[in-house]
Structure 1
Amino acid sequence: MNTLVIYTHPNHKSLSYAFLEEVLRGSKENAKITEVKVLDLYEAGFDPVLVFHENRRRRDMYREPELAEYREQLLWADQIVLVYPIWWGRPPAMLMGYIDRMFASGFAYRDKGGLLPEGLLKGKSVVCISSMKGPTHYPLLWLGNSHKILMRKALFNYVGIRKVKFFEFGNMESKKGKQSKKLEQIYRYFKTVG
């Protein structure tokens, strides 16, 4: 299984980075994971800004040459792992910009003229690992589960990815946040997934 890990946090001393390290540690010990590639969106200098004008049309976005390497990574991956914080009830703008640019018509899905498109990324799986300062159940109780609905239904199911797993950790800035236990949980999951 080829695994692409997309890391989205500007600080390598963050808890998100510690989660990334546990993904890599567990994956290294898992015989079912053949290769792992890490895309650090900040380190790579990924440009999350959409630009459309008379010479750059939205319908041609899937052919943008500067995104070819990123498209190849997504096609190569059997498993896509997203590691990011929850800010203002959603993933960081950098990750949302990556999603806007990468999951384009003609690459991630194809319109068929009906209600729903044909997802072109079928057969892949996704794991979302997110952490937040707020309480664990904040997204569910206060935001109507908007984070999971956004990621699962509005994005991944739309492009054909049906297997989506969430690790959504709250209270991560609290001394009672059980950070070590959560890190160990991620390590154990990636050591055995497949």
Structure 2
Amino acid sequence: MKTLIIYTHPNHESLSYAFLQKVIEGIGENPNEDEMQVLDLYAEGFNPLLVFNESKRRRDMHIDPELERYREQLLWAERIVMIYPIWWGRPPAMLLGYIDQMFASNFAYRDHGGLLPEGLLKGKSVVCISVMKGPTLYPLYWLNNAHKVLMRKALFRYVGIKKVKFFEFGGMEKKNGRQAEKLSKVQRYFRMAKA
């Protein structure tokens, strides 16, 4: 299994960073794991802004030389792990900017005149690990599960990725939020995961 971890939080003292460490530990303890790469979008200085003008056209994003290394990472990965907080009911703008640029036409999908495009990232799997201040069931009951719908249906299924797992942890700023238990759960999952 080749795993690309996309970490999106500006603070390495955060709970999100603790989850990153547990994912890395779990993968390191798993005999089914072959290789792993970590992309820390903030530390990398990834530019999430879309720029289109006379010399940079949207239809050419799939061949943008500035994004070549990131495209190679996505093609290399069999499993993509995204670790991020939920802010205002959705992932951070940094991650959304990455998605806007990387999941481009003619790289992640191809239009062919039908209702849905042809997904070009078939066969990959995704694990989304997110934390939020609000209660765990808040997104389900108050936001109609908007975060999971966005990630699972509007993004991953659109590009051909059908196997998507979520770890969505709420109440993470509480003293009794059982953070250690949830960190152990994620580490255990990656230690036991099979291809």
- TM-score, scaled relative to structure 1: 0.99
Aligned residue identity for 2:76: W
Residue 20 (structure 2) pairs with residue 20 (structure 1): yes
Residue 42 of structure 1 aligns to a residue whose secondary structure is helix
Aligned residue identity for 2:155: L
Identity of aligned residues (%): 71
CA deviations 1:136-178 (Å, max 9, x no partner) are 0010010000000000000000000000000000000001210
Question: In structure 2, what is the equivalent of residue 80 of structure 1?
Answer: 80
Question: In structure 1, what is the equivalent of residue 3 of structure 2?
Answer: 3
Aligned residue identity for 1:160: G
Segments ≥4 residues shifted beyond 2 Å = none
CA RMSD of aligned residues (A): 0.5
The residue correspondences of 1:29-40 to structure 2 (distance < 5 A) are 29-40=29-40
Question: In structure 2, what is the equivalent of residue 155 of structure 1?
Answer: 155
CA distance in 1, matches of 2:54, 2:72: 27
Residue 42 of structure 2 aligns to a residue whose secondary structure is coil
CA distance in 2, matches of 1:45, 1:63: 20
CA distance in 2, matches of 1:153, 1:163: 11
The number of equivalent residue pairs is 194
Residue 30 of structure 2 aligns to a residue whose secondary structure is coil
Question: In structure 1, what is the equivalent of residue 96 of structure 2?
Answer: 96
Aligned residue identity for 1:59: R
Question: In structure 2, what is the equivalent of residue 181 of structure 1?
Answer: 181
- TM-score, scaled relative to structure 2: 0.99
CA distance in 2, matches of 1:8, 1:55: 29
CA distance in 1, matches of 2:153, 2:124: 15
The residue correspondences of 1:82-161 to structure 2 (distance < 5 A) are 82-161=82-161
CA distance in 2, matches of 1:31, 1:2: 12
CA distance in 1, matches of 2:116, 2:55: 28
CA positional deviation for 1:24: 0.3
CA distance in 1, matches of 2:45, 2:55: 24
Aligned residue identity for 2:129: I
CA positional deviation for 1:54: 2.0
Q: Which runs of 5+ in 1 are unaligned?
A: none
Residue 159 of structure 1 aligns to a residue whose secondary structure is coil
Aligned residue identity for 2:191: K
CA distance in 2, matches of 1:66, 1:173: 37
CA distance in 2, matches of 1:49, 1:31: 39
Aligned residue identity for 2:50: L
